[in-house]
Amino acid sequence: MVGDNTLQRMYEEMVTARHYEERLQEEYLEGKQPAFDISAGPIPGELHLAAGHEASAAGVCAHLRDDDTVTAPHRPHHVAISKGVDLERMTAEIFGRETGLSKGKGGHMHLYDPDVNFACSGIIAQGVPPAVGAALAAKKRNTDDVAVAFLGEGAIDQGAFLESLNLAGVHDLPVVFVVEDNDWAISMPKERVTDVADGSQRADGFDVHRERVDVDDAVAIYEAAGEAVGRARDGNGPTVLEVQVHRRMGHFMGDPEAYRPDEDVELARERDSIERMEGHLEEHGFTGDDIAEIRERAHERVEEAIEWAKDQPQPDPEEAYEDVFTDELENWPERRDRELAAADGGEE
C-alpha cells in the first residue's frame, strides 16, 4: 500500500512535470508565432513533451534510489523530474546555456545527470541496452542497485529492445523495462504497427516476467513497479512493465496532428492521471487546501528553475571543441582555422 508521504511526493512530481511541460511549451513557442520556424525562439531544436505520461515516472521512480540507473527516451522530462535530476541545470540545458547539465551540448533529448544515474537517448529504444549494461555492472559487482529503461510502445518493435530482453533474461539481470503506452508512435496508432494490444507480451518469448497496468493511475503503477523493482533488487531478474499513459500534445511541438482523430485528443484530455491522483489524495485525507499547496509549491519550483535558466549565459563558441575525448588529443578536433592557417602557409 502506498503511504501518505509517498503519495504526496508522487503527486508533487506529477504536477511539477505537468507544469514544467506547460511552461516549456510557452517558452518554446515564443518567437515562433505566428509562423512556426523551428530555428527561432529561446529554446533550440525539437521539443518532445511528455504531458500525460507523468503517472508512469512517478509510480516507478518512487521505488528508486539515486544509485539506481534510469535511461529515458527522447521524451524524458517527467522521468528526469521523478528520478531527481537537477531541475535548474536540466532547464538550463534545454535553453542551451553554459550551466546546463551538458554545457549546452546535449539539449532536451540528451540529458545526463550522473549524480542520480540518469541518461537518455534521442533514438528510439537505444537507451534500453545501456540500462541492461548498468544492471550487468550491478550483478558483477554484487551490489543491490537496479536499472530501469523507459521506452514507448512504438519502440517495442526495435531489435535493441528485443535483444536486450533476451540478454537480461538469460543472465537474470536486475532491470525493469517500462513501456509507456500512449497509443501513438508519431503518426501511427498502435493497431497499425502491431497485432499485440498488450506490449508486455513481448516478454513471453523470452520467459521474462511481465505486467501491464491498463489505466494511467500512478498508484496502480506504483504497486506494479514495486513488485518489478523488488524482483530485480532481490536478484530475481528482469520484468517488462507496460503502463497505459496518454499523449496530450503532438509528437513534437509544432506537430499539427492532422493524422489524429479529434475524439482521441479529447479522450487523452479526459483520462487525466493528475485528477485521478487528487482523488487518491482526498481518500487519504488530504484536503483541497493541502492539494493546492502542493501544486503551488511545484509551480513555484518550476518558475524558479525557468527564471534561473533563462538568466544563464550562452556557451562560449570555443567550448564546441571540448569534451570530444576525456583527454586532449593533439590537433583534435580538426579545426577550420587550423586548416586555413595551413593553406596560408602560416604558423599556428
Partner 1 sequence: MAQVEEPGPEATDRELTMSRAMVEAIATEMREDEEVFVMGEDVADYGGIFDSTEGLLEEFGYDRIMDVPISETSFIGAGVGAAMQGMRPIVELMFADFFGVAMDQIYNNMAKNAYMSGGSVSVPMVLMTAVGGTYNDAAQHSQTLYGTFAHLPGMKVVVPSTAYDAKGLMHAAIRDDDPVVYMFHKRLMGLAWMPAPEGPKTGVPEDDYEIPFGEADVKREGDDVTVVTLGLHVHRALEAAANLADDGIETEVIDLRTLVPLDTETVLESVRKTGNLVVVDEDYHSYGVSGELIARATEGALDDLEAVSRVTMPDTPIPYARPLENEVLPDADDIAAAIRSVGE
Residue 196 in contact with partner 1, rule: CB under 8 A: no
Binding mask 55-94 for partner 1 (x = CB under 8 A): ----------------------------------------
CB closer to partner 1, 98 vs 207: 98
Q: Could you tell me how many residues of this chain bind partner 1 (CB under 8 A)? A: 58
Q: Do β-strands 184-185 and 188-189 pair in parallel, antiparallel, or remain unpaired?
A: antiparallel
Taking the C-alpha atoms of residue 163 and residue 126, their distance in angstroms, rounded to an integer, is: 11
Residue 264 in contact with partner 1, rule: CB under 8 A: no
CB closer to partner 1, 5 vs 331: 331
Do the Cβ atoms of 217 and 55 come closer than 8 Å?
Answer: yes
Taking the C-alpha atoms of residue 2 and residue 10, their distance in angstroms, rounded to an integer, is: 10
| Among 25, 102, 166, 201, interactor with partner 1 by CB under 8 A | 102
CB closer to partner 1, 3 vs 256: 256
Q: Which stretch binds partner 1 (CB under 8 A): 55-63, 264-272, 296-304, 334-342?
A: 334-342
Continuous segment of H or E residues that includes residue 242:
strand 239-244
Residue 8 in contact with partner 1, rule: CB under 8 A: no
| Among 33, 123, 304, 311, interactor with partner 1 by CB under 8 A | 123
CB closer to partner 1, 110 vs 271: 110
> What is the DSSP track for 301-336?
HHHHHHHHHHTSPPPPGGGGGSSSSSSPPTT-S--H
Q: In angstroms, what CA-CA distances link 343 with 123, 336, 339, 340?
A: 39, 11, 6, 5
Q: What is the largest CA-CA distance in the chain?
A: 78
Residue 200 in contact with partner 1, rule: CB under 8 A: no
CA 199 to chain centre: 19
What is the C-alpha end-to-end distance of the chain, expressed in Å?
67
Residue 237 in contact with partner 1, rule: CB under 8 A: no
Binding mask 24-53 for partner 1 (x = CB under 8 A): -----------xxxxx----xxx-------
Taking the C-alpha atoms of residue 345 and residue 156, their distance in angstroms, rounded to an integer, is: 55
Q: Which candidate, 9, 100, 19, places its Cα nearest to that of 323?
A: 100
C-alpha cell at 35: 509562423
CB of 39 to partner 1, least distance (A): 5
Q: Which stretch binds partner 1 (CB under 8 A): 102-110, 168-176, 228-236, 292-300?
A: 102-110
| Among 187, 266, 287, 304, interactor with partner 1 by CB under 8 A | 187
Residue 330 in contact with partner 1, rule: CB under 8 A: no
Q: Which stretch binds partner 1 (CB under 8 A): 5-13, 100-108, 164-172, 207-215?
A: 100-108
Surface-to-core class of residue 107, CB atoms within 10 Å of its CB (0-12 exposed, 13-18 middle, 19+ buried): buried
CA atoms within 13 A on the CB side of 179: 30
C-alpha cell at 263: 475524439
**Interface positions with partner 1 (CB under 8 A):** 35-39, 44-46, 96-97, 100, 102, 104-107, 109-110, 121-126, 154-155, 157-160, 185-188, 192-194, 254, 258-259, 314-321, 324, 332-336, 339-340, 343-344
